[in-house]
Amino acid sequence: MSSTIALSADQFGIVYNILSFGLVSMLACTIYTLVSQSRVLPKYRTALVMSSMVTFIAAYHYMRIFNSFEDSFADGAVKVGTGAGALTRDIVMLTGSLQFLYYLLR
């Protein structure tokens, strides 16, 4: 079962840009924490490796959400549901929150 959520070009652009920014931020944090290991005391280097792992996993999830959002958008609407090419309900909650932010910022 699937349904659609209508998005204007501006709304799609806002969600697209926010997801892109989130993905790039997580990847940048991963790189920064890996490169910064030589600047901290040895006892804290494990914490930086763990932080790098966490932000890399977050970046991977953002990439999956980003790709799902992009693939499910067609004809001015986002397909929602459990079928092929549809966003899951969790991602819809995220995009709904981003739509709300868009309306507040307009």
DSSP string computed for 68-98: HHHHHEETTEEEEESSTT-B-HHHHHHHHHH
| H/E segment holding residue 5 | strand 2-6
Residue 83: both structure tokens together: 């079928």
Query: What is the per-residue pLDDT across 65-99, written as a single tens digit (0 to 9) for each?
Result: 888 878 777 777 777 666 655 565 555 555 555 55
Q: What number does CATH give the domain 2-105?
A: 1.20.1070.10
Would you say residue 4 has pLDDT above 90?
no
For residues 5 and 17, the model is more confident at 17
Query: What is the per-residue pLDDT across 16-63, written as a single tens digit (0 to 9) for each?
Result: 888 899 899 999 999 999 999 999 999 999 999 999 999 999 888 888
What pLDDT is stored for residue 33 in this prediction? Answer: 93
What pLDDT is stored for residue 86 in this prediction? Answer: 59
C-alpha distance from residue 86 to each of 3, 48, 79, 91 (Å): 9, 36, 5, 10
